[in-house]
Amino acid sequence: MVISMEKLSHLDENGAAVMVDVTDKRVTSREAVASGRILMSEKAFNAVINGNVPKGDVLSAARIAGIMAAKRTSDIIPLCHPLPFTKCSVEFTADKSTCSISAKCTAKVEGKTGIEMEALTGVSAALLTIYDMCKAADRSMVITDVRLEYKSGGKSGVFRRDTDV
């Protein structure tokens, strides 16, 4: 599949990377939800759920890490605009049958550009924090399925993945 350069908003007419000019865009309410999952051993899973990880409360630390990372997305993803969040949250769901923990990051802004990258960064940092805090118990953990589930606002309107958000 060939993508024309006109459709890539982060490239100028010469193909150079540029920050998108949002000066003339309208301010709208925008929201994005991203999700992901970490698979781990039963030992590591039980330690997280029972609060027995020596490094502390894994999910509380991961929640804070996810929110902090989302707010700092423009510092780590080239060409992202810094955004004035109106909301950011990270939630977890544990699944004993698969020894996995799913994370969901929701981010909202009143702005001229989308907040998808922030939600994706938030969920990624939350899952990485779980990995970091549990790696002594299980170095074979797998982070998987990081993806955008939903986005609203702006000219392109609503995107909703076919699965439940």
What's the whole-number mean pLDDT along residues 137-147?
Answer: 97
- What sign does the dihedral 15-20-24-26 (CA atoms) show? positive
Check residue 28 and give its pLDDT.
Answer: 93
Point out the catalytic residue in the list 12, 21, 132, 164: 132
Q: Any catalytic annotation for residue 75?
A: no
Q: 94 lies in a domain?
A: yes
Q: 53 lies in a domain?
A: yes
List of residues 6+ apart from 29 with CB closer than 8 A = 108, 109, 110, 152, 153
What's the whole-number mean pLDDT along residues 86-106?
Answer: 98
Q: Return mean pLDDT, the chain.
A: 92
Cα–Cα distance, 112 to 153 (Å, whole number): 9
Q: 55 lies in a domain?
A: yes
Q: 131 lies in a domain?
A: yes
Whole-model pTM over 0.85 = yes
Q: 2 lies in a domain?
A: no
Query: How many domains is the chain built from?
Result: 1
User: What CATH number does the domain containing 92 carry?
Assistant: 3.30.70.640
What's the whole-number mean pLDDT along residues 33-54?
Answer: 97
Q: 89 lies in a domain?
A: yes
> Which amino acid is it at 116?
E
Count the neighbouring beta carbons within 10 Å of the beta carbon of residue 33: 24
Q: 5 lies in a domain?
A: no
Q: 18 lies in a domain?
A: no
- Given a cut of 80, is residue 6 above it in pLDDT? no
Residue-range definition of the domain harbouring residue 70: 25-153
Check residue 5 and give its pLDDT.
Answer: 44
